[in-house]
Amino acid sequence: MNKIELADDETLIENALFSDVIKAISDKFKTFKGKIKIDGEIVEEGNHRQYMSLLGFNAKTFHNIFSNMDKKSDASDWYFTGKIILMKDNFQEIKRSRVGRGGTDLLKKINEYEGENCYIPTDGHCFVKCVNPVLNEDYTREFQEYINGFSKANRKGVMTCARMKEFNKKFNTLFQIYNPKNRHFHPRDVHDELDWVFYLHNSHFCLIRRSQKSLGIQEIEDNYEQVWKMCTDDNAVTQVSPLKLNVLSSMSDDALFAWDCETYSEKDTRRAIPYACTLINLDKLRKKLETIKNIFPTDNVPEEFYDKLMNVVELFVGTDCIDQMLKYLGQYDRKRLILISHNGSGFDN
């Protein structure tokens, strides 16, 4: 067996055993993240010649197809001449931190609850929503500047229990968080104790009374509630805006898009084939809704004005719809764009 080294972009191969080519691609996929294109021909010595053009293989698809090929026909009888092209993934799926989100997803919200011995804030910056009523001041802007001051590698935009000591020092506060497992408070070096302490429930910051910790925790467990978000005419933009939270807070709305993709199932292969996708720019949507609101300050908006919202929707049709969409996005002179998929399945992402 002759070892074939594949370059990170394009490799020309001439009359190499196809089994060696398969082995080289399999080895490359151990470290390479992306897809592969095979363009050439395979020849069975003195018998058969077949042109081969395969595009869009990832590691899993490649192994599935070629393991079946090798069962039906010995790859060591075939020789390959052509190009192997590697295409790195240019899109990164962003994972949002669950800390401070309350264990909820983008389709649900957490209801606010004020009890005798506890306080449950709504989702989204739940930490500062607990700080404000205790201090009777609004620290929202200062808090956002604080957590966004961390580097991306250091969990930018995320409040953690470990940062509470630093928060106290920066804002001259005396907050602590209670851990019922060991009954300890963090940070410990707080001399003037507040009546309220933090408690983390399902990754959601809440408050409990220091003097009634057990009752406060029980009250949170009894009243902590997640409900489905309702997207109405007047909050459509605000339902999309939280998608930027913990992703890239400094990014402007004109670089943020919501997109959706429709597919049909191929009869023989059961593959999902895209036939249409839509793209909505948040900045354009916001401006259009603000225009409608300025013209009609009440809820009595004629239906034809909502039809005009379709003017901000980009629609791409055909089995090449995703290619069309990417070419459209290519016209934006921005270093980075963020696409949020609607009800994103693994295929969409």
In this prediction, residue 287 has a pLDDT band, given cuts at 50, 70 and 90, of confident
- pLDDT on residue 119: 96
- Strand, coil or helix: what is 205? strand
In this prediction, residue 333 has a pLDDT band, given cuts at 50, 70 and 90, of confident
In this prediction, residue 206 has a pLDDT band, given cuts at 50, 70 and 90, of very high
Range among 26-35, 181-190, 234-243 rated most confident = 181-190
Please check the confidence at residue 208 and state whether its pLDDT lies above 80.
yes
- pLDDT on residue 57: 64
Integer Cα distance of 244 and 316 in angstroms: 25
263-280 average pLDDT score:
81
Integer Cα distance of 13 and 17 in angstroms: 10
Helix residue ranges per DSSP H, the chain: 18-28, 59-72, 126-135, 140-147, 164-171, 213-223, 236-240, 282-295, 303-307, 321-329
- pLDDT on residue 116: 93
CB within 8 Å of 44: residues ≥ 6 apart: 77, 78, 79
Query: How wide is the angle at C-alpha 202 spanned by C-alphas 114 and 182, nearest 5°?
Result: 95
Integer Cα distance of 252 and 336 in angstroms: 11
327-334 average pLDDT score:
83
Please check the confidence at residue 251 and state whether its pLDDT lies above 60.
no
In this prediction, residue 198 has a pLDDT band, given cuts at 50, 70 and 90, of very high
In this prediction, residue 10 has a pLDDT band, given cuts at 50, 70 and 90, of confident
Report percent pLDDT > 90 for the chain: 19
- Write the pLDDT tens digit of every residue in 31-77: 777 777 888 888 876 667 777 776 666 666 666 666 655 555 665 67
Integer Cα distance of 21 and 2 in angstroms: 9
10-34 average pLDDT score:
82
In this prediction, residue 267 has a pLDDT band, given cuts at 50, 70 and 90, of confident
Higher-pLDDT residue of 174 and 49 is 174
- Write the pLDDT tens digit of every residue in 87-138: 776 655 555 544 444 444 555 788 999 999 999 999 888 999 999 999 999 9
Higher-pLDDT residue of 230 and 274 is 274
Integer Cα distance of 251 and 239 in angstroms: 17
- Strand, coil or helix: what is 42? strand
- pLDDT on residue 37: 80
- Write the pLDDT tens digit of every residue in 306-327: 677 777 888 888 888 888 888 8
Integer Cα distance of 13 and 233 in angstroms: 58
CB contact at 8 A, 159 and 200:
no
- pLDDT on residue 135: 92
Higher-pLDDT residue of 242 and 170 is 170
- pLDDT on residue 242: 47
